Amino acid sequence: MYMSSSEVYGNPTVVPTPEDYEGRVSSIGIRSPYDEGKRFGESLAMAYYREWGVPVKIIRLFNTYGPRIRSDAEYARVIPRLVEEALHGEALTVYGDGSQTRSFVYVSDVIDAISKIMQADCSGEVFNIGNSSEISIVELARRILKLTASKSTIAYSPLPKDDPRRRCPDITRAARRLNWKPQVTLEEGLERLLTWYKEN
């Protein structure tokens, strides 16, 4: 199994984005080492599948969240960062005007998808694993403020260069081939995450 990323699509012009979309990635952009690294990894995996019959399966993960996810890493995930800012009474950092969208999938749904893919007869196939429900970052921040009953405000910062405007998967293939779709809604997942934070 090669664990790839939605980053292989770059800043897509087709949203929801299907697996056959070839991507819109700048090879010299600020995000390119990660984007192109994942794309090259997929190329190598498929070369081994075609040349030697290695039973390769590729998963393109979209924004995953859940307990134990770090908020202090250099490339910290947006949900734990916003949750911790809200719980500590700090301003929630939103980049740009917050209209850029993402779709978030809870970790238990990802684990279920990985298990189904590894057990399926699907060598040489690529699967988007994510949630087809799209939300703007500013709306995500507002929901977190409401769920945490935080008195924090939202602080807007300049949008990072090459930040994709939209990120949402087409998960039709996973639904059809694996009988998989996310079971945990964003609201439920955020509530689970908050419970974990309070207990830990």
- From 173, 129, 93, select the one nearest 1 (Cα to Cα): 129
Q: What is the pLDDT of residues 136-174, one digit of tens each?
A: 999 999 999 999 999 999 999 999 888 899 999 999 999
Structural domain spans, the chain: 2-199
The span from the CA of 158 to the CA of 176, in Å, is 40
Q: What is the pLDDT of residue 31?
A: 87
* Mean pLDDT of all residues in 48-65: 97
Among 74-83, 109-118, 158-167, the range of highest mean pLDDT: 109-118
Instruction: Report the percentage of the chain scoring pLDDT > 90.
Output: 88
CATH of domain 2-199: 3.40.50.720
Q: What is the pLDDT of residues 122-138, one digit of tens each?
A: 999 999 999 999 999 99
Q: What is the pLDDT of residue 69?
A: 85
Q: Provide the CA 181 distance to its chain's centre, in angstroms.
A: 15
Q: What is the pLDDT of residue 74?
A: 57
Q: What is the pLDDT of residue 72?
A: 76
* Mean pLDDT of all residues in 36-58: 97
Is 34 noted as a catalytic residue in this protein? yes
Give yes or no for residue 115 having a pLDDT over 60.
yes
Catalytic residue among 9, 34, 48, 95: 34
